[in-house]
Amino acid sequence: MSGGLVALLDDIASLAKMAAASIDDIAGQSAKAGVKAAGVVIDDTAVTPRYVTDFSPARELPIIGRIALGSLRNKLLILLPAALALSLLLPGAITPLLMIGGAYLCYEGAEKLYEVAFPHAAQAHEATIEPVALDARTVEDQKIASAIKTDFILSAEIMAITLAALPAGGWLKQAIILAVVAVGITASVYGAVALIVKADDFGLALARLSPASALAAPLRVTGRAIVRAMPHLLKALAAIGTAAMIWVGGGIILHGLDAYGLGGPTHMLHGAGAAVARAVPVAKPVVAWAVEAAGFGVAGLVIGLLAIPLTSRVLSPLWRQIKSLVRRLPSRRRT
C-alpha cells in the first residue's frame, strides 16, 4: 500500500517536472520569437501615438484601450488561427505572405518620405488611391478603425515572424507560444504608447506643483522640461517608425529571397557588415548590425518607391475594377 503511494507520488513529481520543463520551454521560445519580431514592435510603438494626438486628454487612454482591444482581437481571433492553418496546410505560403507584408511596410514608409519631399506629388498619388470604406460615425471611430487596420498589417508580420522562428512541434504548443507572444507584445506596445501619450500630462502636473516643499522647485523644472520635450519626442518617434517600416520591410524581403535561393544581396550585406566591423576597434557586433540594417533600409526604400507608382497605376485601378464587378453581381442575379 505504502509502496503504491510512493510510486504514485513519484509519478506525480515526474509529471510536475515535465510540466515545469514544458512551461520553461514555452517561455523561452516565446521570448526568442518575440525578439525576432522586435523591429515590427518598434514600428508599432512608434506609429500608434499619432492616432491620438488630436483628441482631448480625457479621451486618449480610452482610445488607446480600444485600439489595444482591436489589436488583441486581430492577433488571437484572426491571425493566430490563420497562422496555425497555414503552418499545417500550406507551410510554403508563410514566406511569400511575409514578403507581401514586408513590401507593404516598405510602401508605407517610402510614402511618408515621398510626402515630405514632394508634397504636391504625394497628394496627387493619394487622390488616385481607392479609399478603404470605414463604417465610422465619428472622427474618433474613424481614427480607431484606421489604427486597427494598420495594426492588422503589423500584427500579421509579428505573428508570421513568430511562427517562422518556432521549431517544428505540435500545433497546441505553437498556439500557446503565439498567444503568449500576442498578449505580451500587445500589452508592451500599448502600455508604452499610453506612457508616451500621457507623459505631457504628467509633466504638466509636475509643473503646477505648489512651492510647499523643497522638492517642488526641481520637480516643476522637470515637469516643464517634459512638456517642452514631448513634441520633439513624438516627431522623433514618427521618424523612427518610418525608418523601422523601411528597414524591417527590406530585411523581410531580402531574407525571403534568400529562402528561395536568391541570397546574393543578403550575403553581400552580411559580408560588408563583417568587413566594416573588422576595421572598427570597438562595438564590432553593433557596427556589423548597423551596416546590415542600413543595407536593408536602402533596399526597402527602393522597393517602397517602386511600389508607389505600381499602387497608383496598377493596383488601385485593379481594385476599383474588382469592386465594380462585385457591385454588379447582385443585380445580375436579380435579373
- Whether 71 shows a pLDDT value over 70: the answer reads yes
Neighbours of 120 (CB within 10 A): 8
Residue 114 and residue 272 in contact, taking contact as beta carbons nearer than 8 Å: no
Q: State the residue for C-alpha cell 515590427.
A: 40
- Whether 108 shows a pLDDT value over 80: the answer reads yes
Q: What is the pLDDT of residue 233?
A: 83
Q: What is the Cα–Cα distance from 88 to 305, expressed in whole angstroms?
A: 35
Q: What is the pLDDT of residue 38?
A: 52
Residue 40 and residue 164 in contact, taking contact as beta carbons nearer than 8 Å: no
Could you give phi then psi for residue 3, rounded to 5 degrees? -65, -40
Mean pLDDT of 126-146: 64
Neighbours of 51 (CB within 10 A): 22
- Whether 211 shows a pLDDT value over 60: the answer reads yes
C-alpha grid cell, residue 128: 488616385
C-alpha grid cell, residue 144: 480607431
Q: What is the pLDDT of residue 206?
A: 84
168 phi-psi bin (left φ>0, alpha ψ -120 to 50, beta other): beta
Q: What is the Cα–Cα distance from 293 to 189, expressed in whole angstroms?
A: 22
- Whether 52 shows a pLDDT value over 50: the answer reads yes
Residue 165 and residue 33 in contact, taking contact as beta carbons nearer than 8 Å: yes
> Helix, strand, coil proportions of the chain in percent (round to 5)?
90, 0, 10
131 alpha-carbon distance from chain centroid: 22
Q: What is the pLDDT of residue 298?
A: 95
* pLDDT, greater one: 3 or 295: 295
Residue type, 246: I
Parse the chain into domains and list their residue ranges: 25-334
Q: What is the Cα–Cα distance from 107 to 101, expressed in whole angstroms?
A: 10
Q: What is the Cα–Cα distance from 41 to 57, expressed in whole angstroms?
A: 25
Give CA torsion, residues 174, 149, 128, 322, to 10 deg. Answer: 60
pTM exceeding the 0.85 threshold for the entire prediction? no
DSSP state string for 155-176: HHHHHHHHHHHSPS--HHHHHH
Q: What is the Cα–Cα distance from 151 to 165, expressed in whole angstroms?
A: 21
Neighbours of 10 (CB within 10 A): 10
Q: What is the Cα–Cα distance from 218 to 211, expressed in whole angstroms?
A: 10
pLDDT for 222-253, tens place per residue? 888 888 888 888 788 778 878 888 888 898 89
Mean pLDDT of 26-50: 55
Q: Sign of the C-alpha dihedral, residues 152, 156, 157, 162?
A: positive
